[in-house]
Chain A
Amino acid sequence: MRTAGSFANRWMFAGSLLVLLAWWSGAPNGAQGQQGDNAVYNASSACCQASTAFIDATAFCAMPGGCTTSDDFCSVVNQALKTLPSTGGVVDARGVNPGANNTCVNSPFTTPNSITTPSTVLLPPGPIYIHAPWVMPNQTRISGEGRKTLVIACSSTLPVTPTNPCGSSNFNFDSTDSIIEMGSASLCSTPCTGVSIEHVLVEGNNIGPALTGIYNASSGDGSYVNDVTVKWLEGNGILASGANAAASGPYTNLDIEAGGSGGKKNNNNPAGPWGTDCTLQTTLPCEQTTTACVQLDTPTRGLHGITCTADGVPEAAIYVGANTNTVEDVHVEGNIDSIRVGDNALASGNTANAAGITILDITSASGGPTSGSVQTGIHICAPGSSTCSSNAGQVTDVSVYQTQMFTTFNKPVIQDDVTSTTLEGNNASPGIAEYELGQPLAGGNTRFTVGGDSVSASTEVPTWGVAALGNSTSPSGNCQPGTILSNTTGTSPLGNPDTIWVCNPSNVWKAIK
């Protein structure tokens, strides 16, 4: 009996040790890692070993791995950024309260640590209410989850239910009046490079008459904006300006809504304090005449793919106020000018000379119930133009391929103040195939136009036409003085020219050869 009991006890002891050993071996082995490291299986197929492929910012919340809206989003990201090696890395903040109201007192790049390390920051879905502008350091990229990542400038009167996550304090403007800044003079002694913003929605909430969504005066090569929506701003959606922003871009796939639907300031909350109809201009701020979707006041790699809507108040949707820019695939509603060349909405004294500009595939439309009207498609300014600002500069060498106007009434598809040319269009008329403005020549300018003169209100512009009229048919219909026509089947028998025709000052065709 004694032997049996002792045997049982020993087995119990041995069994306990075995269970303990087995449990230890099956438990996470607790290999050392750094805060925020990813956990991966190690070479022995055991869990887990730390990987620095990216730093997960949720580890820096007050309760690591269990972030709440009490955590300051930017502070959390900042602490994660601080752990990156000097060569840079990726901070994955997608798990910081995804879908919930995140808030920021300061920038993720300034507080509590000053960050200059190159980084890619992945933003979570949901709104991020910010009280301070984000000034992005050199070689920094932020990337969200499309329109479901919202970076919103705070307002104490923000109409969010049940509580305003911004509390009682407003967005703190700096000297640039912008929400996100691509680099800064203090961060880069020479132009910053590789600063980019992708897949986010930037929202201004109409909190200031000059607030800009994305501001670039400091970042050049490799610095771009892609797949970004900007809403409810009275300044600029995107402003690229100054020598240090040269060669930045491209600025691609943009949807910029200055006024929102129906001229309402905040269509998401039409019953709120910002539901007032801005078209009445009864409360401020609403869209200003200087509000713009994009200003390119420096040579860039172009603006490609944009829809810009407003309530009809802004003077121009897109300003091209510097040399060497391409503007392509554009849709504009509710701005007086869709594209204004040789002007800007900057402070007086910033003369906007522009040369070497290529513009193609431009659609201008009056939006009816969804946005305001448009007055002019492409407006080429000249110094002293009465419909441009005092900053209007010299414009030469502009190429336009394909632009069209969709309005009930005739409106200028192109208004060229350099040559005093206006080519009009409407819903029923075709657009313009080509408009080339060259350089001053003998009191005029080198210029060529194909199409764009179908509406009778247009300026008469000479062009070159062709037809196979044979030797017994004359050109018919209207003609513009100076137009040349080549009859490809003319025979021009002696004394009866029928191959080369010219439209004379009386708008009558004359056969000359």
Chain B
Amino acid sequence: MRVRKINRFAQYLLLFGTLLLLTVSCLLAPVPAAAQAGNNAIYPGSTCCKPSPAFVDASVFSGTDFCAKVYAAISGQPAGTVIDARAVTPLTCTNTPWWNGTTSIVTPTTILLPSGTITISTTWFVPNFTKISGTGSSTVIAAASGFQQPTGLNYNSNALIEMGYDYTNASGQKCSPYGTSPCVCGTASSSGASSDCQSVQIEHMTVDGTNYSTGNGIYNNASQELSYVNDVTFNNIGGTGLIVGDVNSSRNPLGPNGGHSGPYTNLLFNAGSNTVSGTACVEVGTVTWGVHGITCNANGENAPAAAIYVNGLNSSIEDVQVDGFVDGILVGSVSGFPAGNNVIFNVNGANSHNVSGLKNVVHISNANATSDLMSDVAFMGITSSASGVHTVQDDTSTPSTVITDANLAMYMLGESTVLGSSVNWQSRLTTSLSVPSWGMGPNIPAGACSSNGRLFSNTSGSLGSTLYACVNGSWTNIK
């Protein structure tokens, strides 16, 4: 009897000890600190782990699709939070990262997008102070079949992505067109909203319009300083890859905006099966910090009219490769919109995809030829690797000035107004041999000459043999 009691006591002791050990283990083991969903785990010391809000991983949030989960991750975060959505699935969107079908949010964030194709059903309006950044061209924002803009807009961007808000509500404020939201940027209002969106940034991704044949890629008619697009590829866009300052009144009766945005850098446009004559790489209709570094490829049989349209003042367009478009860069083609004071340099045109679409590397339209709306442009380093094309065609003169040199150092066009009065000539300077230019050398020019009015300075000349002009096909001594 005693032995049995002892055995039972030992058993209870063993059981109690086990439970005690379990309890102590629970108490001594690392205990997860209070954390918010999506926090990263870090070592607070030598043992793991504590939460860190350095960024929010959106993959742990609930939602029916990619945008719903990102929306949930943004909600409640402080402005400026980094939302890491690189592990979020599935890669489809019914709504947008800033609209859940009912409510819009405008919290500024940086959103890291995953590799893979995110199919979107409606336009993404990127809020004020927001950056979206992919992993490179492998992050694809693609229009879903049946893609459509929100209804009720007072313009029609037809774009997959808009930078800021160009939508004007009933109170005259610029807001997200989705649901109700604070009007954080746009036209100044009595509410104290700022006058424009700023710091809307898009980087490292591809925009694909395959399922939206008439659509545009990225549209900026609202965001200004520090708003830019960098390292973005546009595939199979039937409309225009990038629109900055929209001068197309049928698309946008509000007029161009988005001034002083940019630079728009490191862009690649590949036309595809959606290509029509109006397909374009870029439209610039306002003052910008420039388009720097772009390749525009049109490979189809029906060459689009132009790769880059410039219908605004004061932009620098540099480091450009255009292929297969009729015009590489078309300047001043919309009547009534000033297109002067643009500097364009390091542009090469080509027909390298078995097509012969390219006619002019840079083309100045005559749409504003009768006014100084089209004046003061500077072209430098314009070249063509295609045969039989014009490096520059300037339709502001009558007849058009055509430069066929394969390589052109400089073409400067001034004005047709001098000291307050209109004149019947233009100030112009070029290094081309196709038109009057100014040459020099240690000799008297010999033989026949072309380009009536060309000048030549003989650096070894003496009185009566120093300055010559090409007159009626012959070199004639001036002085």
Interface of A toward B, CB cutoff 8 Å: 2, 5-6, 9-10, 12-13, 16-17, 19-20, 23-24, 27-39, 47-48, 50, 56, 58-59, 64-66, 92-95, 98-100, 122, 124-126, 145-149, 227, 229, 253, 255, 304-305, 307, 328-329, 331, 360-363, 370, 401-404, 429-434, 448-456, 458, 460, 463-469, 473, 475-480, 484-492, 497, 499-500, 512-513
Contact = CB atoms under 8 A, between A and B. Distances in A.
Contacts of A66: 33-34, 50
Contacts of A149: 80
Given A33-B47, A434-B378, A468-B399, A513 B424 contact: no
B110 interface: yes
B467 to A, nearest CB: 10
B47 A6 contact: no
B419 A458 contact: yes
A429 B195 CA distance: 26
21 contacts: A95-B40, A147-B226, A148-B129, A255-B226, A329-B262, A361-B314, A361-B341, A361-B343, A432-B376, A449-B427, A450-B413, A454-B415, A456-B419, A465-B423, A465-B425, A467-B397, A468-B399, A476-B424, A477-B422, A484-B455, A488-B451
Interface in B294-344: 313-316, 338, 340-343
B124 interface: no
Nearest to A471: B472
Interface stretch (B161-169, B248-256, B428-436): B428-436
A255 B55 CA distance: 26
A469 B436 CA distance: 14
Interface in B450-479: 451-455, 469-472, 476, 478
A451 B48 contact: no
B375 to A, nearest CB: 4
Contact of B78 (A98, A361, A469): A98
B19 A466 contact: no
A2 B1 CA distance: 11
Q: Which applies to chain B's interface (DSSP): helix, strand, loop or mixed?
A: loop
Contacts of B290: 305, 328-329, 361
Interface string B13-46: 0110011011001100110011000011111111
Contacts of A34: 43, 46
B116 interface: no
A423 B409 CA distance: 26
Given A94-B54, A401-B343, A476-B422, 4 more contacts: A28-B30, A433-B341, A485-B425, A513-B478
A65 B30 CA distance: 13
Contacts of A145: 80-82, 110
A404 B428 contact: no
A125 B226 contact: no
B266 interface: no
A402 B199 contact: no
B45 A24 contact: no
A433 B11 contact: no
Contacts of A35: 43-46
A451 B415 contact: yes
Contacts, number: 379
A452 B372 CA distance: 11
A478 B377 contact: no
B415 A430 contact: yes
Given A305-B262, A433-B376, A467 B424 contact: yes
Contacts of B18: 13, 16-17, 20
B345 to A, nearest CB: 8
Contacts of A32: 46-47
Given A463-B414, A478-B423, A329 B263 contact: yes
